[in-house]
Structures are given as structure tokens and as C-alpha cells.
Amino acid sequence: MVSANDPEGSNAYCVTVPSIVFFVFTPILVLIRLWSRRATSSTIGMDDWTILASFACLLVVQILMILSVSHGFGRHVSSLAADDRLMALKLFYVAQIFYKLTINLTKAYILALSLRIFVQRWFCISCYVLLGVILSYTFATTFSSIFQCNPINGAWDKSTSPKCIDLTVNWYSNAGFSIATDILILLLPMQPIWACKLPINQKRALILVFALGGFVTVTSIMHDIASTLWTLIEQNVAIICACLPMCRLPLASILPSSNNLYGFNDTPENNSSSHSST
């Protein structure tokens, strides 16, 4: 935060810099992922629509945060006019809602994609259970974000003397849930990958790709250090890591030696023959 002794100081760069960088980089990964789906002539599934919905919510968050910076977000409150302060807080309030949608929709996408890849009965049941938990929590946390104060405008205008939920407890609860589900999603595909009939090097490559999602867990923990900066990083890295398993074909085009890096096609028909099932 900006020191109270430096009211003209600004931490706006913590919002604008990652927003601009990821505005360029993240869409590239999403487009590569969609191109890969088209190149394999695979049917459009729930995972495709889920990642697009998550990416749309991410863009909304970044646009809202950049707009909030233009109204003084990141500067000391004493340096802001009353109208700018209210608008910055209002934009941040809306961004919180879309942030939670982005993160949880990305988790849902990874599970939906995993269901297209792995066919083991226990794995599918585990995915559906975890997917149900995440979607239920998405509804609950979005609802709590919208109605965090009574009246609603008390979330950005404290002059209304609103009654609000404990935001500190709410944020820690969200972080705890996010970390726990990240770990479960990270560990879930490890056994099917190791059990499939692939050369050891391809198994290790697959595990590495899925393990990259662990960085999202690290960013969830880092929220206490620079909340807004790490929130933006977390959302973008989550979508980037979610898209990586679909980058096999582009990698094979650029690096022929990496062909069949992942060792499977992403269609259920091919997966059922290339993976062992229980």
C-alpha cells in the first residue's frame, strides 16, 4: 500500500503492468488452445465453453481494474476526490465478483478437460464430485460478493452505514478453498498418467504440464503480500496453465521432436484405447 506519508505516491503500476502484459499473452494461449481443438476435428464440448466463459470474465476484471486506476485506485485515499474514490471502489466491487467467477470457471474447465482425456471410472466419479463442489461454491461465493453489504451500495459507500460481512474472514475462506481445490485438481490426474501405456519420458512430460498448475496455488498464498497484483497474476496463470495441455499440436509443428509429447489425443474415443481403465 502507499505510505500515508506519501499521498501522491501510487501503486497503480501493480495493476496496469500485469494487465497490459497478460492482455497480450493470455489471449495467445487461449487462441492456440482453440486452434488445437479445431485442428484435431474434435467436437466442441463443455470444456471449450467453460474456458471461453472464464476468459471473458478475466477480461472484464482487467478492464475494470484499469478503469479503477484511472479513478485513483492504487493511490492514497487522502489524495482522491470523493467522486473518484467512490467510483474506484465501485469498480473494484464489481471486479471482485468476476474474479471469483474466473478462478472457479477455470477449475471447472480443467476438470471438464480431464473428463475428455481420462476414462477410469473412479477418476470420472471424482471429477464429477469435485466439479459439483466447485460449481456450488462458485454460486455461494458470487452471491456473498454481490450481497456482502446491506444495502448493496454500502460495499463502496460507507456513508450509508451498511451492515457488511467480515471481508477478512471471507477472503481467507476463499483462499483456503482455492488452495485446497488447486491441490486436489493437481493430484487427481497423476495416477492415471503414470498408469497409462506411455514411454516414461512422455509420462514425465505430462506430469510436468499438469504440475505447472501448482504455481496457481502459490499465487493464492501470495495474496497477503500484494493482493491486487497477485490476484491478476493468479487469474491469468490459471487460464494459461489450463490451456497448456492443449498445446501439443503447435509444439509438434514448431519442434518436430516434440510430436506426441502428450501421448494421447483429446477425443474420448482415442483416449479409451490409449489409457488403462479400472
- Which residues have a Cβ under 8 Å from the Cβ of 22 and sit 6 or more positions away? 62, 232, 236
* Angle (deg, nearest 10), helices 227-243 and 13-39: 10
Would you say 108 and 50 are in contact if contact means Cβ atoms under 8 Å apart? yes
Distance CA 29, CA 232 (A): 16
CA distance between the termini of the chain: 53
Distance CA 44, CA 41 (A): 9
Q: What pTM was computed for the model?
A: 0.76
CATH number for 13-274 (one of 3.40.50, 1.10.10, 1.20.1070, 1.20.144): it is: 1.20.1070
Asked if residue 214 has pLDDT above 80, the reply is no
- Which residues have a Cβ under 8 Å from the Cβ of 135 and sit 6 or more positions away? 104, 108
109 or 196: whose pLDDT is higher?
A: 109
Instruction: Categorize the per-residue pLDDT at 247 as very low, low, confident or very high, splitting at 50, 70 and 90.
Output: low
Q: Ranked by mean pLDDT, which of 122-136, 232-246, 255-269 comes out on top?
A: 122-136
How many other β-carbons are positioned within 10 Å of the β-carbon of residue 225? Answer: 8
275 or 145: whose pLDDT is higher?
A: 145
Asked if residue 278 has pLDDT above 50, the reply is no
Express each pLDDT in 91-140 by its tens digit: 989 998 998 999 899 889 888 888 887 888 999 999 999 999 999 999 99
